[in-house]
Structure formats: structure tokens, C-alpha cells
Structure 1
Amino acid sequence: MYFRYFIILLLLTGCVKFTPQYLSGSAYDRSLILFNEGMMAEAREIAFSVKKGEPEYKAARDLLSQIDRLAPKFAERHAALGEEYERVGLYSLAAKEYAAALEFDPDNRIISKKLEAVEQIQSSIQTEELTTANQEALANVHYKKGIAFLNSKQFAKARDEFALVMKLIPRYRDTEKLLTVTTKEINEAINIHLKNGIDYFQKEELELAIKEWKIVLELDPYNKTAADYKARAEAILEKMKDIQEQR
């Protein structure tokens, strides 16, 4: 009983290779079943296996001739469908149709080139998708590091991390806003430490002044004011050291 239901299910789902007729049939019978189901390539292969001298050899040869006559038409249909899929950007479906066309017309160089072209496009798309996924993952790592540095008030490091995120993906989450906040914090810190350094310098506390300007230069390596003051303070310290050594 269960076997009958199984056979009915197979018939309904179109699994012709599991039907009793197919399983118990001769090579010619199987090729004819496949031919009637439109499975030309497989039908041709099985019909071709019928050897000369076998009872159904002539019938198999007639079927092969019929397949060969119909093959170009089927190839054209699959190729045309492939072109339609390719035109609307459905490259995986286009590739399947071109491949099906080549089963009917294996020597068709035009279809072969079209298949090769869409496969290259597919490969490029997959590579691009993979690259994008990698960029997003990397951007997320730098984004989280930037947040951590910002929360711990390590503004220069936070700025560098957010800048990397922007380079990878320009509009990643709220990175642009966070970079603006970080830059503002850095500018405020620069002004504070620059002023502190000048105050120490005027009080002749040169070593403390130099420490303040070093902080400024860590935040802004190209800050000319801090660099000039630091150089002057270091020169004065060097002269004072020479004077002390001469005493």
C-alpha cells in the first residue's frame, strides 16, 4: 500500500526515473520516456548506448535522428531564454539556460561564449559581495574600537579609528557624527593644553610646559604653535644645562 502511494507521489512530482515503466524498461524505453519528458540530452545518451544487433537498435537510431533534428530548435529556445534572463540581470538563470542550450548543441561557439561571459559576471558579483561583506566586518571592528577610545577619552585614537571606518564605508552608521564629536573634543583639548603650556612657560616651568605641548602634538602632530614653543623651551633648557655644567 505504501509502495503504491510512493509511486503515485513520484508520478505527481515528475520523477520519471523512478516510475515502474522507466525502472523496468529497456534502454530504448527509458530513452523514449526521457525524450517525451523533454530531457533530450539524457535521452540521447541512453539511446546511443543501444548496441547494433539489439532488437531495438533501429528504433533507438530513429530516436537519435529525431533528437538531432530537434536539438537545434531546443538549443535556440534555451539560448533565447538565457538572453532574456541576462538582459534583466538574472545571470545565474541565464547561465543555466545557456548550459542547457549547449547540451543540445555542444559545438555552438556563440552560446559557449555567452555562457562564459555570464559566468564571469557572476564571479565578479560574488567577489564584490564578498569584498563588501569583508569591508563591513572590518568597519564594524574599527567602529567599536573608536567607541571604546571615545568613552575612555583617548580622542586621538578614537579619531583614527573613525577615520578608518569612513575610509572603508563612508556612511557607516553614525560614524560621521562621532567623528565630528571626537574632532571637537580634540580641538578643545588642544586649546587647553596649548594654553597650559604657555602659562607654564611664562612661569618658567619649562618641563611642565614641554609636557603640555607634547600632548598637543600627540593630538595634532602638525600644530606649528606647539612645535615652536616646545623647540624654544627645549633650547632654553639645553642652555641652562650647559651653564650649570660650566659652573
Structure 2
Amino acid sequence: MTLVYLVIIGQLCRTSGYLDIPTVPAYNIKGMWGISTMFSFPMYTDDPNPNDSIFVDPKDFTMAFKYGFGRGELAISMFTPTTWVVSVCYLLKEAKESGTAWFCGVDDISYAKHISTVGAGGNDGTIEEISYYKYCNGRPWELFSTYIAMQKYLGKVANFVLGFGRGRFVGYGWRSHIFNTDFLVLGNDYKTKDHSWWAIGLFMGGSLKFPFGLEASVEMDGRDANVGLKYHFPAVTATVALCKVEYLGNFRPWSPRWTFGLEGNNRSAVSAPKVGSIECVIQDQTTKQLLPNCIVDIKEINKRYRAPAGIFGLSLPAGNYTITVTTPNYVDYLAKISVKPGVKTKLVFNMKKTEEAIQREIAAMEREKSIKTYLAQGKIYFSEGNLNEAKKAFEMVISLDPDNVEAKNYLGNIENRRNELINAYLTEARNREKANDLTKAIEFYQKVLDLDPQNTESSEAISRLKVRIAQEKKPPTTTKPKQPEKKATAEEIEVLYKKGVSYFSANNFDEALKIFNEVLALDPNHKGAKEYKKRTEARLKVLKGGE
């Protein structure tokens, strides 16, 4: 379905412009066409002097057909049923949002020298144009109104136009004449001297756009100054323009004009859809590794896509979208994006793992660490011949990782290795026993028992060798010759006797009796010892209750 856009044209129906002065061609698509109308009427209609030669400006209605041919635009305008003109505009240099465009064109290609929206002829037109013809020594030809101009863009918010043109852009009013090149030649004699057919006039204007759809325009050229407001609806743009504002405050019948217009075109039918593209990179927030097989949901178009390798690309109509990325073990990622026409937007989704996934990952890391530790221990035990401990370590690996091939291979080799070591240890133990190296022999027999506790040969050999070692360590029994007893000397006997007397004197009769017996044992004929022995025995008898 073709959408028709309605646009207020402004004062005149020619190629694209603000209100009256031209701008960069808006019909910039090959095959684009449109039809426009314009209606204009004076603000004041009273005439203080109806009998003079200056009359109130008439109401005005015009129509135009426009056609775009890529960089150029063609307009065929009907001002009156007998007044038709052709206008052409061409884009010399294109510009983007912050550049400067250059364009040129020719307005009022027709069959008459003087062209206005109310007719063709020097005496046809607005009050101002008729005054040029009658009172300013002639009116410049509007025929082939050639121009060249630049349009500067200040982002999407504003732009302005500055240009030079002949014909309809040249004015000879008491103010407007200073904006054309004849002013440099004629000065203030512009009313009495001939005008140059090639005089060039200055024109300029600007447009300011507001976020809520309102656009304001202001412009001026050698003929008039105009202001206008446009309001852009989704399918309609409404505008009110006040033209010839320089007449505000002038005496009647000079009057500003209200101007309205309407335009429809087939832009939506011939323009390519405004699309952009997105490239999504889905990766782990920590490791930055791409996450395969993620699900991408786009809410506004109700579509679901899969990103097999963690990268996903898609072209979308320009607009705003809500994207949700989901994948197991990660928190859902929701993002609001804006797709711009002709722009490829790269989006990076840093996915955060869920708390449960983090805990599982920690457990898996600990499990993997334990597997490596037990596997390394088992290898060391295996190489040292400590097969029982090696078996325990490899069995721990299997309990954590039932499919661990390396641990299974080691477990399969343990029994073969056990038999090899038993035979080697038995051979070495026997050789040591033959060499009478009993301690080493016992050591190797013990290694056999460590590998095979039921090995009878080793247990019996250890018992047997321990007995032999014990026997070899027992010292031989020998009879020592009896040493002759050493006799005490008289001096030693006398010292011992005096010691007994001291005990007697101290009433320590028991000790005294022992000493006297020792003295008599050494010298049975010792008189003093005999005497004191009797006395001591007597005292002891008394002390024990005898007479």
C-alpha cells in the first residue's frame, strides 16, 4: 500500500524548498513523484485608495507535479491555466548529518519573460512586482532564474541555506535592492537607470527541528521574507506560513500573506526499507570465551534465533528492540537496543553464571584436583613398588572418575607388577641368606610379605633367620678362676673395732654388735671385741626385758 505524505508547500510550487527559496532535492529517489497545491491570500484586504494604480494583492492558487531522477528533481507548475513553468534542481555534492551539500538549479523555464503565480507579464504579479515594472525603471526577468547554493547541516536538529541566483531572486525595493549586484553599480539610482538582466541576488534561510515533531523555518531573498511552522505527524505534516513579513506595519494595501499548501508523493513505495543490522557476540563474563548454542529472543518481532558459535548476525528494520539471551547455567541477559538504518551495530553480551553453576564448577574443580592428586600419588607408589598404596590411590581415582583410562590401565598392571616384584624380592632374599647377610635377607622377605601377606616361604624364613641372628649374638659361657680372698690388716681391724666401740658408747647396740662380729670374723682372738660383744649382748637382753 502506498502511503501518501502531505506537506505544506509555502509560497510557491516549484522544486523542494523551505517556503520559497530552494533547498537540496527532497525527491532524491529515482522514480519518486508527487503532486502539490498551494493556496495564498493577503492578511489585509482593505484599500485606502481604490482609484489609484496600486490594488490589493489577489488570492492565489497553484499546482505542481514533481518527479525525482536520482540526484535531481523536476517540477512542472501551473500558476494559472495559461501560465506554466518548469523548474529543475540538481545535487552537486551530497552531505550527511554534519556536512555541507551543494546544489544548483533553474526556476521558471517558460515562454514569457516575467513570471508570477498570478500570471505571465510585466504588469502581472504582486504589488511589489508591479511596482518594479512601473516605478523602478523595469522589472528583472524571472525567466530562467538560475541559482547555486549550499546547505549546511548541523546534525539532525538544524540546517541553513545560502545561495545566489538571478531572476526571481533579484528585487528592487527600497530595502531588497541592497541584496543584489546592481546595488554595486547603480547604488541608490536603481529607480531611474536600466537594470542588468544578469543581476544576481542573495538568498538565505534556515530550519530548526524539535524532538516532538515541530519544525520552524525562516528565509529571505530579493523579493520577500517568509516564516513558517511545520508539525510532522506520522503520515501528515501541517504547516502555517506567513509570507512577505516585511510588509508588516506598511500602509495599505501592502499586506503580508497567509500561505498553505498540500503535497502527496510515493516515497514509501519507491524507497528501500530502512534497515540496519546487528552483530551479537555472546561470551562468558569472566573468561571471555564464546558461548555456543545460545538462544536469542527479539520481543518486537516475536522471533527466536540460535547462535551456534556464540556469534549471531541479523538485519532488522530501523527501530528499537528488546533482546533476551538465554543459555543453560547463565543468568538471562536482557538488553534494549536501537537499530539505525544503514548502520551495523555490534553488541557484546557478557553472560554471568548462575550461583548454582558456580558452585557446581567449584565442586568440579575440586574433583578434578583430587583426581590429579590421587593419580600422581598412585604413579609414585607404583614406581616405588608400593603396590597396595598404589592400588588404593587408583581406586580413589576410579571412584571420582569411573571412566579414567589411565587409572584403569594402572590397576590392570598392578597384579602383574606384584608378581614380578615378589619373584625379584624372593630371589634377592635367598641370595642374601646364602651370603649370610641375614639382616638384608629378612628385609627382602618382609617386602615379599608386604606384597603377599600369605607367602609362607617368607614368613618361615623371617622366623628362622631371626633365631639365627639371636644365637649368633649370645656370648659364650666361661669359668673364671676364683680370686684369693684378701685378708684385713691389723690396722683395718683396729679401725673397725673402734667403730663398734663408738656405736656402743652411743647406745646403738644393734650396729655395735654387727661391727664386733665382723671384727671377730677377721680376728677370732681379738680380746676387746670379745669383751664388748658380751657387754653388748647383755645390754640388748636387758632392753628386751631379760635379766
Q: What is the TM-score with the length of structure 2 in the denominator?
A: 0.21
The answer to which structure has the higher strand fraction is 2
The answer to which structure has the higher helix fraction is 1
Quick one: higher RCO (CA 8 Å, sep 6+), 1 or 2?
2
Larger Rg: 2
Q: What is the TM-score with the length of structure 1 in the denominator?
A: 0.42
